[in-house]
Structures are given as C-alpha cells and as structure tokens.
Amino acid sequence: MATQGSAQARQSGEGERLVAQKRSGPRFITGRRPPERGPSGIGQVFEAQVISLAETGNAVVEHPDGRRLFVAGAWLGERIRVRVKELKSQYGIGELVEVLEASPSRIEPPCPFHGFAANQCGGCPWMFVDYPAQVEAKQQRVEQAMQRLTASPRVLPIIPAPQPLGYRMRAQLKTDGRELGFVANGQRQLAAVDDCLVLTEHNRATLQTLRQSLPNTAWTPGRKQDWVTLDIDESVSGKDVSVNKRLPFQQANRQQNDAMRVWLSRQLQALPRELPVLELFAGSGNFTEVIAAAGFTSITAVEVVDEAIAALAARALPGVTPVTCDLFDENAFAGLLQRQRAAEILVLDPPRDGLKCRSGLFDRRSRLRKIFYISCDLATFTRDLRDFFAAGYQLEEVQPVDLFPQTPHVELLAHLRRP
C-alpha cells in the first residue's frame, strides 16, 4: 500500500517559521459570510455542510446543482466554504477555502508539513482530527458497509492503536538527490520533510542520517524517473536502506500486527489440528507462524514472490509446505486449488486489490469450511464477501483494526464459515 508520512512540529523558532511558511491551508473564521458569486463551474465558491466521509477519507458535500463534491481537510458535520476544482457528470472535486463551523474534534495538526497543497505532505490526511474521532469514523464506516451486505452483521469494536504516533516500522521516502520527503497520493510533487512523527524513533534517526547526505548525486533520478525511492525499515540503518527496490512485504505497525496475530490464534483454537490448511498470500510467514504454533500438521503456504517463499522455507516451521504460485494468473490459481482440494481451512491476506483470481474459490463443492480473511481495503473486501455469501458462507464476525492512525485506512479481519 502507499506510504504515509508526516513530520513532527518542532519547538524551536525555526519550527514555527516552517509552520508559517508551509501551511497554506484554509482560513478559520467565526460566523458566516455570504457565498462568493462566481460562474457555475470551475472556481465557483459556495457554502456547504459536510454530510459524510468518502472511502478515501475526504469530506463529502453537496454542490448547489446536486452533485457530490469530495473535499480534503474537512470533517463530518462541519460547515465550510468550498471552491470547485473539477466537475464530472456525477461528482466533483472541491478545495477547502474556509471552515465556518468547526467540528469539536478538529485539532491543530502537530506536523508543520501536514496539508493538502502540492508542496505539503498529505500522507497523514486525518491528522487535523483528534484520535477518538478518527477511530469512531472508521468503526462507523465498517458497520455501514457490513449492514449493506447482511441483515445481522457482527462487527466487533475496532482495536485502536496504542500509539497513534511513532508506530510506523517502515516507510518509503522519495528523493531527487537534493531534497528528501514524501509524495502524497494523487500528487506528482515531492514534499520535502526533515522529520516524521509517525515513524518509530529508529526510522526517524534513519531519516536524519539520509538527510545529512544531501545533496547526493547517486540519488539523481534517471531520465524516465521522477525521483529515487528509499525504503527504510526498523531492521536497517541509514547506510543500508533499499534504493529503488521495495523491501519484502510486512506489516508496518508492530503492535497492531501482534493484535491481528492474536485474533487469528484465537479463531483457530477450537478447530481440529488435523484439518488441512491453505494459506494464500503468505509472505514470509507472518500468519503462517501463528497457524504452525497452533499445532496444525498440514499447512500449505502460498506466495507469489520467490524471495518471500525462500525466507519462509528458511524458517522451517513445523507442518508448513511453502509453495510459489502466481496468484494473479487464473490458470495457475485454478491449478493450485485443484491440487489443494482437500483443504478445509483457508487463511488469506491479499493486497489492496483483493482476490484478483477467483476461479473455483467460490465453488459450492469446495471442502473449505472455515475462511479467515485479512483485508487492507474495505471496498474489495465487501466485493469478495458478496461472492463468499453467494457460495453459501456465513459471516461469523468482522474485527476492524486501526493499523494506520492519522489516515482513513482500516484493516479488517473476518471469520466466515459454511455449514
């Protein structure tokens, strides 16, 4: 998933100067002001009430002509002034001009680089909202999505993050050899930062080490590159970062990853250990380790990436057979399911796109009786659940987890069964 980033507000005079220079966001006023009169289209400014939050975390307001506009930097219930930036047939994009009536949950972001302009880091788009409100918004979004799927969803209370800041074990930085920072989703401009408060202390130190090496001609982008990527991780120093090569996937929040592992362990406790287990998107064994520790004797752990499977094989977990298979190729996937037709438990943790290959997985003749679906995207999660429901599976529970505070992202853990 895309890297999120932000920086810590410094207490020095220089930090205050940076805040003044970099914050080019909306003005805050008391009372109301008549809307500016402009052409009915791009550039028009109007007043609106935030009626909901979109999947992306942006506020949703209604344009005077009835179209919905998405606006970054506003919160549920706020009354705001919006400038129209883009209009489509069904929706549009708006820019926050002023907050007329602020939410009680609105706070001053602790980051001088937070914002939504081209030169600001948009990696922590909810940092202007207090943490309890963030958690409540995620809970409501999951509950509403599940209510649209089934009449009696069992959505457990979201697991909040013990550390809303300082939690991120890994991140991807961008550099042009002169500046170092983040590129927010939907932007093509580097937002330079000199600190990032969502990173762990180790990674913040790595960021400082990297900054001290600027300018660095070795990081000059090639002719077809916008920038060079630097992947940082808890396990490496500032001298050992991965340049233009993604690190093997692992969860970026250690404490919340532990919570997800505990959930899976609890779900597996009552199941007979002789049941064959099929795990898809196993990576290097984050959840495989939990299944093996529970005592299951036949575990087939499948992953696309050869390096991840090699790392998993090196761990020699009891009962585990690592398998490399292209889970994005229909023929390869169908062949895998045919070979694993004896499996009765399925554990899967797909990427954001969810289950791209589906042939045979929703076959009512399948022996799969228990499914534990770990998802990082609510939209593809609900899409896949519809197909599981159509194949006769029932939803036992959904456990939301706040894996990335300060962002709209929510992780989902689902238990499905087929009688």
Active-site residue list = 376
Residue type at 138 in one-letter notation: K
CB of 174 closer than 8 Å to CB of 180: yes
Number of Cα atoms under 13 Å in the Cβ half of residue 414 = 29
What is the C-alpha end-to-end distance of the chain, expressed in Å?
Answer: 34
CB of 98 closer than 8 Å to CB of 77: no
Query: Hey, what are 372's tokens?
Result: 């534990």
Q: Which of 379, 402, 388 is nearest to 348 (CA)?
A: 388
Q: Which residue has the tokens 């705001």?
A: 80
CA distance 74 to 50: 7
Bridge partners, 87 (sequence order): 92
CB of 250 closer than 8 Å to CB of 283: yes
Query: Hey, what are 232's tokens?
Result: 């940082």
Q: Which of 295, 266, 264 is nearest to 282 (CA)?
A: 264
Q: For the stretch 76-114, what's the b/e string if a residue is b when 16 or more beta carbons lie within 10 angstroms of its beta carbon?
A: bebbbbbbbeebeeeebbbbbbbbbebbebbeebbbbbb
CA distance 123 to 193: 12
Neighbours of 295 (CB within 10 A): 14
Distances (CA, A) of 228 to 181, 220, 233, 288: 11, 7, 17, 33
